[in-house]
Chain A
Amino acid sequence: MVLSDLLQNIIGGVTVGATYGLIGLGVVFLWQSIQRINFANISSAMLAAYLFYTFYAQLHLGFLVSFVVSIAIIAAYGLALRYLVLEPINRHGGDKLEFVVATLMLCIFWLSVVKVIYGGIAKPFPPVFGEATSFVQIGSISIPSVYFWIFFVVLVLVFALHMLLQRTMIGKMFRATAQNKEMASLVGINVDMTTSLAFMLATSIVGIAGILLAPIYFVSLDLGGGPIGIKGFAAAVMGGLVDPLGTIAGGITIGLVENFSTLFISSAYKDVISFVVLVVVLIWKPRGIFNWTTKGD
């Protein structure tokens, strides 16, 4: 095991882990807003990837247009999620558990829809972030150009979110509502609007994560459920379900743990180790490892 091998794995783990963090953000925003867990969180990633593929590779609409339109649709989907799933369930007397199961079914539903429309075989992501085989060589380490893009976008996104939440009016309203809904509405904040905003943000961020992951995961059903969804939850948990930066840190941690357990232990049990880590964190520090907020949940 040479240093370059180690570095290679670190780079891979960090990059992919950052996207897990983005997926975790989708969980966090929704939790902060409505105290519910959306088990169809990861579906936004898959849908965004497939939408982008359709616009760019099939309809040849150009990168920017494809990207913007895909994310716009996913944001609208976020709104639909609120008004077509959450509200009806609340109206008919359902509570947290019903929402959980409904979103679980929604996740399966989206997998079926995609399978029907696009078929079950994975499709290659178009080379918008550079050819899949183009690498940047630094010494004996080669980094796929895709990784640079992923890292860049994650940085920009996290920075933008930070600005949004800390520096803008909307962000302040959002945070206020998350802390205490009643107080917020008393102070005149439009809670209804912030709730819708939360939904749209959650799905859009995960959608962007999906497009970023598609070069690595391919435009496939793997993006829409199963292990990757769990990793998103794990990242969110590590951030205590409240701290966005902590969530990203949590995701990166998971990415690294995965890579190193494969390197030093065995690839067969890679997922088991991730789950064990998750359980240990949950039991030992349910407040989250990377929770740097001053207030608790």
Chain B
Amino acid sequence: MKKAVVMLLVVALFAAVLGFTPVRAAEGVVVQITIGSTKATINSKAVVLDQPPLIESGRTLVPFRFIGEAIGAQIGWNPGNRTVSYVLGNVNIVLTIGSITAMVNGVKTTLDVAPKILPTGRTVVPIRFISESIGAKVDWNATTRMVTVTVIAKPSWSTPIKIVLSAPFTGSGSILGEYCKDGAQLAVDEINAAGGVNGAKFDLITYDDQANASTAATVVRRALDSDKAVAIFGPNMSAAVLGVHTLAQQAKVPMLVGATSPSLRYDKTQNDYLFRLRADDGVKVAQQVKYIVEILKAKKPGIILGSDDYCTSALAVAKQAFDKYGIKIVDIENMKEGDKDVTAQVTKLKNAGIDVLVGLTHEPEAAVVMLKVRQLKLTVPIVGFSAWGVPAFTDLAGVAAIGVISVQGFNPADTDPTVKKFVDAYKAKWGKEPSDPAQCYYDGVYLLKKAIETAGSTDPVKIDEALKTVEYTGVQGLMKCDALHNFTNICYISKFNGKTWEVISKIP
């Protein structure tokens, strides 16, 4: 009995592996024909033609019925006026035997070569013209003399537009996956309820990338090769994005991320397919330092620093920013993600005589720090980085967080009507308040919708082009792709009063 189970398991594994071989999405078609050969393939399945394709006047002619059936069109043949017609979707093509004039949707078009009836009695038509008229791609390989026609399914309500979200649901570090997904899903559901994108609905597929560059590499490949997504949202972790964005570039599929490291800017990555959906840390830290120096007028800052890349790249920016003001950082103390006791670090900071504490850590560490700060009576102002401005921190720190100032990417207490509408919808649907980065994925999905509408196509390359120029006003204000491929630079400086974050300033 047990052996049978084991055998079944192994066989099932194998079957599932092989089952992962959709060469195309079920709706798309790939047709291949070779000049002079009766062997052709439709979606890799072998087909035998009754007439080999031939070339005339530099154009390839194929049997008319074959190409019609291959692309899935309705074929019509009228012996009376010797016309051949194809109807596919809303494209209507009519060819006349022996005539170089054809009609596409009622419009006269001139062909390079006329369809004809061969001595063998077979009727042949120009393959490139037919294919391109219905929007298919035609490739010619001179060496093998093979023509490949690729028909991409036009999205409709039943063939949804596939988008994939890669977000961290497990793993260590900032587990913000729920927020990313809830934000994106809310947008998807709203859009689908309102009729979709040009009549086609979004299909959001979510994968866990474990906050881990290695797993993200697998997930993104799955999105590109198995799911054939037209756009990828995430990863949300900068280190993961650094590892996988070239995959999107090679596949020519746009990747819209909430990851905030400055090393993802266009000047560093040179990736036309990578876009950022919220303010990057360089901007946020600069604002943080500006507030410290210009408003608080602090001169001896101390920093408590986490160890992962979110924290260390923020430190690099902070150092630069303080340098510009001519201010020297008095002390930097390190802690690791997961550390629960920072007595030594806070003691050292206190003894260093700092006049402001800059927090560059993740949320749980921020709570640990604040509890210790209150215990050891370090009474200087506290200005935290974006992870300090979220409920994941304030819930844990409780009253210890009162009076903490933080730079934020999003503040649900913002009275702006667009923000309020989003917050209310999110609360109604998910039963909790949204937190950074939910808003950027919400905006991102709507942004994608606009790009698809502008491009008039779900071809990822065309979507990418559209993303570079489109403008959209969302929860984060006016979003437009700038030279660094950032869509927005919005951030807030706010102060926690025990219940909410009071906005001190909103930039821009």
Contact = CB atoms under 8 A, between A and B. Distances in A.
Contacts of A55: none
Contacts of A220: 364
A258 B374 contact: no
Q: Is the interface of B mostly helix, strand, loop or mixed?
A: helix
Contact of A131 (B338, B340, B345, B399): B399
B4 to A, nearest CB: 16
A133 B396 CA distance: 12
A263 interface: yes
A179 interface: no
Nearest to A226: B338
A14 B501 CA distance: 37
B344 A133 contact: no
**Interface size, B (range):** 35 or more
Interface stretch (B56-64, B132-140, B258-266, B328-336): B328-336
A130 interface: no
Interface in B314-335: 333-335
A218 B392 CA distance: 12
Interface residues of A, number: 36
A222 B338 contact: yes
A36 interface: no
A133 B364 contact: no
Given A142-B377, A144-B375, A271 B336 contact: yes
B341 A258 contact: yes
B431 to A, nearest CB: 12
Nearest to B333: A267
B358 interface: no
Interface string A2-18: 00010011001000100
Nearest to A215: B371
A83 to B, nearest CB: 20
B169 A120 contact: yes
A257 B335 CA distance: 16
Contacts of A262: 341, 343-345
Contacts of A263: 344, 347-348
Given A112-B170, A133-B374, A121 B343 contact: no
A267 B344 contact: yes
Nearest to B400: A133
B178 interface: yes
B470 interface: no
Contacts of B338: 222, 226-227
Interface string A104-121: 000000001001000111
A119 B336 contact: no
A82 interface: no
B307 interface: yes
11 contacts: A12-B343, A119-B175, A122-B367, A124-B398, A132-B371, A218-B367, A218-B396, A222-B340, A267-B339, A270-B336, A271-B336
Given A5-B351, A268-B334, A270-B339, 4 more contacts: A119-B178, A120-B170, A222-B340, A267-B345
